[in-house]
Amino acid sequence: MRRFIFIVTVMMALAALTAGAEGARKLRVVATIPDLKSLTEAVGGDLVDVDSLTRGTQNFHEAEVRPSMMLKLRRADVLVENGLDLDAWADVAVNGANNPNIVRGAAGRVDISRGVPILEVPTVRVDRSMGDVHPLGNPHFSLDPGLAPIITQNIVDGLARVEPENRAAFARNRELFLAKLDQEMGRWQKMMEPVRGAKVVVYHPDFIYFLTRFGLVQVATLEDRAGIPASPGHLVNVIKMMKAERVKMILVEPWNDVKLANRVAEEAGARAFVMATAVGAVKGAENYIAAIDFNIKTLSEALK
């Protein structure tokens, strides 16, 4: 028992010694996905240091919780998460980080789905026979530029909860970013106008917000059900549908089976394109605006 008390005392003394050396520094923010890292950088500017727990090439549904995530979270003042169960694994990482600033309910925990009009919210009874269904609705909204005002407002509010004195600076950065985004939006709308109403097939249903924003129609998914690999019978039906609906394009995530998408596209007389499903998912999509720009260019050229 004495040994136990001794060990605990030594650990506490070490912790106390190391805790005081905090001077003026930037707000340390960790985002669960790179889209939110990019948006937080835009809002936080020079006042924040932002890191991401995942890379754009990863499937965010199935991110592996590594202790390196816990190390990033251990030092974080703020955790920005997507919500709607896309990054539910963050809870496991937070639990291993021993950081009270970012546990659920803490001031430093920012859920950017707050106030977002959610699509594909189930209106019928859901269970896992429907695949990896999201009971709260489709969580892939972060790359819809039309939702950036809500998302960035949530980020401003979250950062300002931790650093209220910088609220005005965060709000000003947000306005500048949104003004820039607005200019781009006008250009993007013009580029997409000629292909409005075009039909596309997606591999996994993570483009619905983007497609809806620019007036495109998703007619099928290569996945039989979300998260369940496609059966041959399902693929045959998709190919028939693509031919009947004259679908020219399959949208694929970089982490999904691109070869399979290419085979299906070939059979259906279409083409498969790897899209920027997140910031950093493909070359040329290094930040939020660049990722959307990449998708707009790819869609507008492929659907001509």
Buried b (16+ CB within 10 A) or exposed e, 38-75: bbbbbbbbeebbbbbbbbbebbbbebebeeebbebbbe
d(CA 185, CA 213): 11
Distances (CA, A) of 165 to 155, 156, 178: 15, 12, 22
Residue in 49, 51, 157, 224 binding other proteins, rule: CB under 8 A: 157
Residue in 215, 229, 269, 284 binding other proteins, rule: CB under 8 A: 229
Residue 132 makes contact with other proteins by CB under 8 A: yes
8 Å CB contact between 224 and 130: no
Residue 110 makes contact with other proteins by CB under 8 A: yes
Q: Give the tokens for residue 56.
A: 């754009």
**3-state SS, residue 50:** strand
**Half-sphere exposure of residue 170, counting CA atoms within 13 Å on the CB side?**
23
Looking at 32-40, 42-50, 104-112, 264-272, which segment touches other proteins (CB under 8 A)? 104-112
**Which residues, numbered 281-300, are part of the site for other proteins (CB under 8 A)?**
none
Residue 116 makes contact with other proteins by CB under 8 A: yes
**Which residues, numbered 6-35, are part of the site for other proteins (CB under 8 A)?**
7-8, 11-12, 14-16, 18-19, 21
Residue 119 makes contact with other proteins by CB under 8 A: no
Residue 178 Cβ, how far from other proteins at the closest point, in Å? 13
Please, which residue, 11 or 217, has the CB nearer to other proteins?
Answer: 11
The pattern of x and - marking residues 52 through 91 that bind other proteins according to CB under 8 A reads ---x-xxx--x-xxxxx-xx--xx-x-----x----xx-x
User: Is the backbone of residue 80 left (phi > 0), alpha (psi -120 to 50) or beta?
Assistant: beta
d(CA 247, CA 207): 16
Residue in 43, 97, 181, 272 binding other proteins, rule: CB under 8 A: 97
d(CA 258, CA 273): 8
DSSP secondary-structure letter at 195? G
Please, which residue, 116 or 249, has the CB nearer to other proteins?
Answer: 116
d(CA 63, CA 234): 27
Residue 261 Cβ, how far from other proteins at the closest point, in Å? 14
Residue 68 Cβ, how far from other proteins at the closest point, in Å? 5
Residue 253 Cβ, how far from other proteins at the closest point, in Å? 9
**Which residues, numbered 239-258, are part of the site for other proteins (CB under 8 A)?**
254-255
Q: Which residue has the tokens 């590594």?
A: 66
Residue in 38, 52, 82, 99 binding other proteins, rule: CB under 8 A: 99
**Which residues, numbered 168-187, are part of the site for other proteins (CB under 8 A)?**
none
Residue 106 makes contact with other proteins by CB under 8 A: yes
d(CA 32, CA 17): 31
Q: How many residues bind other proteins (CB under 8 A)?
A: 72
